Amino acid sequence: MQSRRRIRDYGIKIGELKTGVRNAITDVQGVKVGHVTLLDEAKKTGVTAVLPHEGNIFKEKVFAASHVINGFGKSTGLVQIEELGTLETPIILTNTLSVGMAFDSLVDYMLETNEDIGDTTGTVNPVICECNDGRINDIRGKHIKKEHIFKAILSADVDFEEGAVGAGTGMCCYGLKGGIGTSSRDIELDNGNFTVGVLALTNFGEKKDLLVDGEPIGREIICMDQALINEEDRGSVIIIIATDLPMTHRQLKRMCKRAVVGLSRTGSYISNGSGDVVLGFTTKNRMNHYTNDPLMPLDMLHENYMDYVFRGVKEATEESVLNALVTSDAMVDRKGIQRESLSQYMK
């Protein structure tokens, strides 16, 4: 994936299931991720795009569901996903005050690639998720522009960077430098091998609560460096879950709910001011926008095997958060506070 050391490079193995080849959300075939990073004295922000598959997502929608753990957020598109159970655009992650620009830009992208939208067929449901990077970034400057949204989508690939990149550039997590992290788990069944992949945009938590594989690392960090302050949790986290298991909207929603277990394993208690949103989709079950057949065949995972998915989501979510923390470079916030990388405190 990249040259930066990930949490496993420090000898820490999260969970018991095997990871995918990249240990990333892109281990789910067809899924791609792209970043645009804006980084100078004032601009410390960016865009991350998650593409569910390589085809036309509007014409070949994927089954999807969302779960709002705590609703202090400004995401768009989740209402229609919950009503219809499908995702029909790339997922765009960015900062809170750039949601409007991202929405308009994603609409433009979809109109350019689909001449029928708003003409011979209905409109489109752009999906934008956000976290507030205002502690580090000049968020009032609204630096994200249309070209950044397009570039993130068009640059998406199976290999991508973690840490202080894309939408994660200006994020803080557990009082340290947050950002983008990812992980995956193999699900081995009798009739084939499948994958659950997670991507996390991390911007939450109090330093004293940070756990690394159950160890109270946050408290140890505070003891090691008395100059570090412990702030109240006013952040957010966006969790994107992809799988190639055949699942229904109801099953995907059940899957999304298990991300909270992985977050709790890192120390989160889901604070009052935190916007914690989970969005999950499967690349297996797809719905064609145009069809002459009123019935469509549908595969689904038997409920008796859902525990494999739940465990995979828990493990991959926990590891994604930790990967975001150790791969993010230290950065000074707008108040002059040094946001250290977790890697500084790892042996």
Task: List the catalytic residues.
Answer: 236, 274, 276
DSSP codes of every residue in 253-296: HHHHHTHHHHHHHTT----TT-EEEEEEEEEEEEEESS-S-S--
Place of tokens 């018991």: 16
What is the C-alpha to C-alpha distance for residues 92 and 154, in angstroms, rounded to an integer? 12
Phi then psi dihedrals of residue 194, to 5 deg? -130, 175
The strand pairing partners of 196, in sequence order, are: 185, 243
Per the CB < 8 A criterion, the answer to whether 182 and 323 are in contact is yes
User: Closest by alpha carbon to 315, among 214, 210, 244?
Assistant: 214
Alpha-helical runs (H) found in the chain: 78-84, 99-113, 146-154, 217-224, 249-257, 259-265, 306-327
Which of 209-221 are b and which e, b meaning 16 or more Cβ less than 10 Å from the residue's Cβ?
bbbbbeeebbbeb
The strand pairing partners of 203, in sequence order, are: 236
Phi then psi dihedrals of residue 159, to 5 deg? -105, 130
Give residue 188's region: left, alpha or beta (phi > 0; psi -120 to 50). beta
